[in-house]
Amino acid sequence: HCRYITVSRMVVEVAQMASQEEVLERLRSSFLAGKTRDAKFRLSQLEALARFLEENRKEICHSLKMDLSKPQFESELSELSLVRSEINLALSSLSSWMKDEYVTKNLATTFDTAFIRKDPFGVVLIIGPWNYPVHLTLLPLVGAIAAGNCVIIKPSEISQHTERLLADHLPRYLDKDCFAVICAGADDTSRLLENKFDYIFFTGNTHVGKIVMAAAAKHLTPVTLELGGKNPCYVDEECDINNAARRISWSRYFNAGQTCLAPDYVLCTQKTRDQLVEALKATVMEFYGQDPKVSPDLGRIINNRHFHRVSALLSNGNIVLGGQTDEAEKYIAPTILIDVKESDPVMQEEIFGPVLPILTISGLDMAIEFINRRERSLATYVYSSKSQVVQQFLERTSSGGFCANDGLLHSTLMSLPFGGIGHSGMGKYHGKFSFDTFCHQRACLLRSDGREKLNEIRYPPYTQRHLGM
Ligand code: NAD
C-alpha cells in the first residue's frame, strides 16, 4: 500500500492522490450503474463482511493487541460481537427496511400512489477513530451497505496494525467496484475530503469533526458526526455504593479508559466521595490485582503523544489511587483523583485514559447546574436507587444518551439510537437508525396521465374559484 512505501515521499503522495480519485470514480460509476440497488447484492456483501470477521478473528484480535494491548475478551465483546449482531440484524431485517412506505393522501391525490422510497445516497465516506478501530469503522459500514451505498472506508492511521489488516484483508471479501479501503493520515484525509461525497460519516474528536463538517459544507454533503466530550457521572447519596463502584470502574477502565462513552468525571457529595473512593479502590484491586501493570485485563495507551497528554493530567488534584506510569509500555495505572477544581486542565478536555476525577458538590441541584454549564456530552450517567433522582436528571439535563445505574451498556442496544448532541455530535446510528441514516427518504407520488377533469380546479384563470377556506 502507498503509505507503507518509504522511498520518495513526493512520488508516494502523487501516486496516492491519483489513486484516491480513481477509486472514487470507480465507485461512483458502479453506483450509477445500479449495482448496489439490488437487495440480493446487499445481502451478499453483508454476508461477506460477516465472513471477514469470522475468518480473520484471530488476526483482528492480534492487531488490536498490537495497537492497544486489548485483552481478547474486550476485543470479542466490544469490537467483534457488536458488529456481528449488527450484521445479523441487517440480514434479517433488510427486506422490511427497504420496503416503500405508503403514506396517507389528500383529496387531490386520492387515486394516486404516494410513498417514501428508501434511496441510497451514493458514495459514502466513513472515517474511523483508533480506540475501537474495528467496531467504529465496520458498524457504520453495515448500515451503509444495507442502505445500498458504495463506500470508502478510511480507518484511523493511529491504530496502524488494524488499519493495515483492514486494508489488506477487507477488500478480499467485498466487491471491489463498490467498496474500498483508503489509508490516509490527517493530510491525505484532508485531501480526500476535497472530493465530493454523497454522505460523510465521521467518528473522532470534536476539533476534527469541525474540519470534516467544513469540508463537507463545500459540497453541501450531509454528515453524521460521532464526537467526544466529557461524560458526567452523578453518584447519589442513596445508592448501592459497591455496585456503583464496580460499574463505574468497569466503564472507566475498559480499553484503558479510551472510550468515547466512558464516565469522564464523578460528581457527588463529600460523604459519598469518601465511601466511593474506598469502594473503587477495592474494585480496582479485585479487577486488576495488587499491581494492575501485570494484569492481562488492562489495555495500554495508544501512542506516546496520548501517553504524555494523559500523564500530564495526573498532577491535577490529589491522587488517592494509582498514578503510576511507564512510558516504555505506555502504561497508566487505573487512577482516581480527588480535590480537583473545575478550572483544572483535567476538567477542560476529554480525559480518554484510565483516570477518574471526583468532584464534590452539595447535591443534585448543584450537579445538574454543573453539568448544564458545560457542552452537552455523549452520555450522562446517574447512580441512584431513587427513581425521582434519575427522573430529575433525565428532565433537567441533555446529552446524546443516558444510562441510570450503569455505564456504556445503553450503546449495546441496537434498538436505541446512538449519537451525540451539540459538541458530542449530530446524527445517529445502530440497527434501523443506521439504515435510515444512510438512506435518503425520497418523496414519491405516482399519478395517472388521465382523469384531467379532476385537475381543472387548479388551473388558471382562477376567477370564480375558491377553495372554501
Ligand atoms: P481523531 O479525530 O483524531 O481521528 C479520527 C479520524 O479522523 C482518523 O481516521 C484520522 O485519520 C482523521 N483525521 C485526523 N485529523 C484529521 C484532519 N485534520 N483532517 C481530516 N481527517 C483527520 O479522533 P481519534 O483520536 O481517532 O478518536 C478519539 C476521539 O474520538 C475522542 O474524542 C472520542 O471521544 C471520539 N470518539 C467518539 C465516538 C462516538 O461514537 N461518538 C467513538 C469513539 C471515539
pLDDT, tens digit, 9 for 90 and up, residues 440-449: 999 999 999 9
Maximum Cα–Cα distance across the chain: 91
* Secondary structure percentages of the chain, helix, strand, coil, to 5: 50, 20, 35
273 has pLDDT over 50: yes
Peptide bond before residue 296 is cis, with ω within 30 degrees of 0 = no
Active site residue 183: no
Mean pLDDT on 2-30: 64
**ipTM of the modeled complex:** 0.96
Closest CA to 21 of 138, 121, 123: 123
Give me ligand 1 centre to Cα 128, in Å.
7
* Confidence label for 462 from pLDDT (cuts 50, 70 and 90): confident
Which grid coordinates belong to 195? Answer: 472530493
Mutation pick for ligand 1 pocket among 67, 131, 258, 305 (CB with most ligand atoms within 8 Å): 131
Please identify which of the residues 150, 226, 350, 403 carries the catalytic annotation: 226
226 CB near ligand 1 (under 6 Å):
yes
Mutation pick for ligand 1 pocket among 137, 156, 434 (CB with most ligand atoms within 8 Å): 156
Say whether pTM exceeds 0.90. yes
Q: Cα–Cα distance between 113 and 40 in angstroms, integer? A: 26
Q: What is the mean pLDDT of the chain?
A: 95
Residues in contact with 100: Cβ distance below 8 Å, sequence separation at least 6, in sequence order? 115, 116, 117, 118, 444
Which grid coordinates belong to 228? Answer: 467526544
Helices first, then strands: H and E counts in the chain: 15, 18
pLDDT tens digit sequence for 161-181? 999 999 999 999 999 999 999
The whole-number pLDDT of residue 19 equals 83
Residues in contact with 237: Cβ distance below 8 Å, sequence separation at least 6, in sequence order? 268, 269, 271, 272
Residue nearest to atom 16 of ligand 1 (CA): 186
11 has pLDDT over 60: no
424 has pLDDT over 90: yes
9 has pLDDT over 60: no
243 CB near ligand 1 (under 6 Å):
no
The whole-number pLDDT of residue 401 equals 98
Which grid coordinates belong to 256? Answer: 484503558
* Confidence label for 66 from pLDDT (cuts 50, 70 and 90): very high
Listed in order, strand segments (DSSP E) in 231-315 are: 231-235, 263-268
For residue 154, give the ligand 1 atom closest to its CA. 9
Q: 148 in helix, strand or coil?
A: coil
421 CB near ligand 1 (under 6 Å):
no
The whole-number pLDDT of residue 453 equals 85
Q: How many CA atoms lie within 13 A of 309 on its CB side?
A: 13
Mutation pick for ligand 1 pocket among 159, 164, 208 (CB with most ligand atoms within 8 Å): 208
The whole-number pLDDT of residue 12 equals 43
Residues in contact with 170: Cβ distance below 8 Å, sequence separation at least 6, in sequence order? 52, 153, 179, 181
Give me ligand 1 centre to Cα 225, in Å.
10
pLDDT tens digit sequence for 361-374? 999 999 999 999 99
Q: Cα–Cα distance between 118 and 99 in angstroms, integer? A: 7
For residue 157, give the ligand 1 atom closest to its CA. 11
Active site residue 226: yes
* Confidence label for 3 from pLDDT (cuts 50, 70 and 90): very low
Give me ligand 1 centre to Cα 159, in Å.
11
pLDDT above 90: percentage of residues in the chain: 92
The whole-number pLDDT of residue 266 equals 98
For residue 226, give the ligand 1 atom closest to its CA. 41
The whole-number pLDDT of residue 457 equals 85
The whole-number pLDDT of residue 469 equals 59
pLDDT tens digit sequence for 311-360? 999 999 999 999 999 999 999 999 999 999 999 999 999 999 999 999 99
5 has pLDDT over 60: no
Please identify which of the residues 183, 260, 403, 439 carries the catalytic annotation: 260
Q: Cα–Cα distance between 305 and 289 in angstroms, integer? A: 27
For residue 128, give the ligand 1 atom closest to its CA. 9
Residue nearest to atom 37 of ligand 1 (CA): 227
* Confidence label for 467 from pLDDT (cuts 50, 70 and 90): low
CA dihedral (374, 425, 190, 34) in degrees, to 10, reads 180
Task: Say what angle helices 270-288 and 241-253 make with each other, to 10 degrees.
Answer: 60
